[in-house]
DNA sequence: CTCTGAAGTTAGGCAAGCCTAATTTCGAGA
DNA sequence: TCTCGAAATTAGGCTTGCCTAACTTCAGAG
């Protein structure tokens, strides 16, 4: 399989992420997430779709979709990213709030051989330090049935599956509260009008009120009552 | 200090290496080592010299020289390269013949923070797996008084300081013969007309005949007889 | 069904870096 | 000192990927 430029890899990765959240990737959202102008995105999408690599299907004014080939490249980039994050934490003492930026650069430069060695060193982990699943070498990304903490009702118990990794400040905050993947919690209260949602973590005493901005970034698996 | 593109970093690194071998970096040699055309090198040198960064002094038809600023950048890149090589060998089980290519890409992407953590993990090593000295964080590269094995006279004893790291095949060959940094050897014979030079390694029985192509790539410190 | 604002596209430009082909300069030897 | 081949440079062109400014299209509200 051919090599792609960092820019192309970033587009594919981002399209994948948006699709994985269940939306169609549009110019505006891509532009915002890639921190470039909409015009630039338009131009790039046109070129990508015209390329013989066939990574993307694109209908003017109606967004892009990854082809199977494009999805494969995106998954490789994401695998690199999440393996690197895991490695930096496990082997070099990084905090989970420090690895995202570093991985964003390294993901494009890691060879397949280095990827393999890192994966082997870590024992082929299934998730990165933020709980995000690591795609297997040539497989797909498991579709987890988790949902935002902001959507959980009062009284329900849940287990944290993952948290957004983009904002280091948020990560340090969550860390202080013990809101980490695998941790269990219970929603004790929800105020109306996007008011704070209160959680009790892992049977501890204290109850934390969390803003909408925070609960939107925490994903949980709600206990089934049967 | 400003960031530079991988291309610029590669130019500076290569100019440094040539200067460190005691020559003035000319267009032809840079082109060959960077695997691009002379025309491209000419153009880049002009731009580099005209840039306000002042990394390089350049006289048309007479080669480039690094300024203090350029030398500093070059040393940082080389430090990255050699730390990465060392790390891959020490922490991820790479062979010394496998790390050069990987490091050539990673050297441009490593942050200062990652550089520090790698150096700390390794205990601030002074040399990479091929024996090449690692420049200290903000210092210069020690000028070792070593010379090519091809210049050593018959009967002399010497200690290997470093070997060229570019050719993986050569490295595997040297490895098989035990010709590694710190290893001691004695020159037993030199045939005329660039014929083979024979060495006995570390008091072992066997004597290996080495071609000029090989002895030019091994650097040694000859024992002083006093 | 029309209007309008948000979303998207096109046009034109620029910097980085590379290329080939043509030309100039250098410097060593006759 | 002249010449000539090697070394270097210039001229012109291409791709990638980004930009701003001007425009078009879409889709939802009235």
B106-125 burial by CB neighbour count: b if 16+ within 10 A, else e? bbbbbeeebbebbbebbeeb
Question: How far does B160 lie from chain A, in Å, by closest CA?
Answer: 29
Report CA(B26)–C1'(D19) in Å, whole number: 36
Supply the pLDDT for residue B145: 84
Distance, CA of A100 to CA of A113 (rounded, Å): 22
Supply the pLDDT for residue B151: 87
Report CA(B194)–C1'(D9) in Å, whole number: 37
If one counts every other C-beta atom within 10 angstroms of the C-beta of residue B206, the result is: 9
Supply the pLDDT for residue B203: 67
Cβ distance of A105 and B111 shorter than 8 Å: yes
What is the pTM (predicted TM-score) of this model?
Answer: 0.92
Is A102 in the B-facing interface, judged by CB distances under 8 Å? yes
Ranges under pLDDT 70 in chain B: 1, 193, 203, 225-226
Supply the pLDDT for residue A157: 92
B222's tokens: 């000859």
User: Which residues of A fall within a CB distance of 8 Å from B111?
Assistant: 101-102, 105
Q: What is the mean pLDDT of each run of 10 residues along chain A (226 residues)?
A: 90 97 95 98 97 95 96 97 98 96 97 97 97 92 87 92 93 93 92 83 84 92 76
A138 membership: H or E segment, kind and range:
none
Distance, CA of A106 to CA of B122 (rounded, Å): 20
The side-by-side arrangement of strands in the sheet containing A184-190 is A147-148, A218-222, A157-163, A184-190, A197-201, A207-210
Supply the pLDDT for residue A195: 76
If one counts every other C-beta atom within 10 angstroms of the C-beta of residue A70, the result is: 23
Q: Facing residues of A218 across strands?
A: A163
Supply the pLDDT for residue B190: 85
Q: Which of B90, B105, B115, B119 to mutate to test the interface with A (most CBs of A within 10 A)?
A: B105
Distance, CA of B196 to CA of B209 (rounded, Å): 5
Q: At what angle do helices A112-122 and B68-92 cross, to 10 degrees?
A: 50
If one counts every other C-beta atom within 10 angstroms of the C-beta of residue A20, the result is: 13
Question: How far does A109 lie from chain B, in Å, by closest CA?
Answer: 6
Grouping H, G, I as helix, E, B as strand and the rest as coil, residue B21 is coil
Supply the pLDDT for residue A102: 96
Report CA(A77)–C1'(D3) in Å, whole number: 59
Q: Using the structure block, give the residue that is written with the tokens 């390269």.
A: B81
Are B195 and B160 in contact, with CB atoms under 8 Å apart? no
Distance, CA of A22 to CA of B174 (rounded, Å): 55
Closest Cα in chain B to A91: B91
Question: How far does B79 lie from chain A, in Å, by closest CA?
Answer: 18
Question: How far does A186 lie from chain B, in Å, by closest CA?
Answer: 38
Distance, CA of B27 to CA of B6 (rounded, Å): 19
Are B12 and B33 in contact, with CB atoms under 8 Å apart? no
Q: Which of A103, A104, A105, A109 to mutate to test the interface with B (most CBs of B within 10 A)?
A: A109
Task: Provide the chain B residues 117-146 that lie in CB contact (below 8 A) with chain A.
Answer: 117-118, 121
- Cβ of A8 < 7 Å from strand D? yes
Cβ distance of B92 and A114 shorter than 8 Å: yes
Supply the pLDDT for residue B83: 98
pLDDT digits (tens, 9 = 90+) for B155-214: 899 999 999 998 899 999 999 998 999 999 999 888 876 778 899 888 677 888 988 889
Distance, CA of B42 to CA of B34 (rounded, Å): 13
| Half-sphere exposure (Cβ direction) of A226: Cα atoms closer than 13 Å | 3
Which residue gives the smallest C-alpha to C1' distance to C26? B61
Of B98, B109, B121, the CB nearest to A106: B109
Closest Cα in chain A to B104: A109
Report CA(A46)–C1'(C11) in Å, whole number: 15
Of B88, B105, B121, the CB nearest to A109: B105
């Amino acid at each position: 399989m051919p090599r792609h430029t960092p820019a192309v890899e970033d587009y594919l990765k981002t399209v994948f992420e948006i699709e994985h959240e269940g939306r169609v990737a549009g110019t505006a959202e891509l532009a915002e997430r890639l921190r470039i102008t909409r015009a630039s995105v338009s131009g790039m999408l046109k070129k990508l779709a015209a390329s013989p690599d066939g990574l993307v299907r694109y209908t003017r004014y109606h967004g892009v979709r990854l082809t199977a080939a494009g999805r494969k490249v995106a998954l490789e980039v994401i695998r690199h990213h999440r393996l690197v994050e895991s490695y930096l934490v496990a082997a070099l003492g990084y905090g989970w709030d420090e690895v995202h930026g570093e991985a964003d650069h390294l993901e494009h430069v890691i060879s397949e051989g280095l990827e393999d060695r890192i994966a082997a060193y870590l024992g082929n982990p299934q998730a990165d330090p933020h709980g995000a699943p690591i795609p297997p070498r040539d497989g797909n990304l498991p579709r987890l049935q988790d949902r935002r903490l902001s959507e959980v009702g009062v009284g329900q118990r849940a287990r944290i599956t993952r948290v957004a990794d983009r904002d280091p400040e948020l990560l340090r905050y969550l860390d202080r509260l013990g809101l980490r993947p695998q941790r269990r919690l219970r929603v004790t209260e929800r105020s109306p009008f996007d008011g704070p949602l209160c959680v009790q973590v892992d049977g501890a005493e204290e109850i934390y009120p969390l803003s909408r901005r925070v609960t939107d970034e925490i994903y949980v698996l709600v206990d089934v009552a049967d």
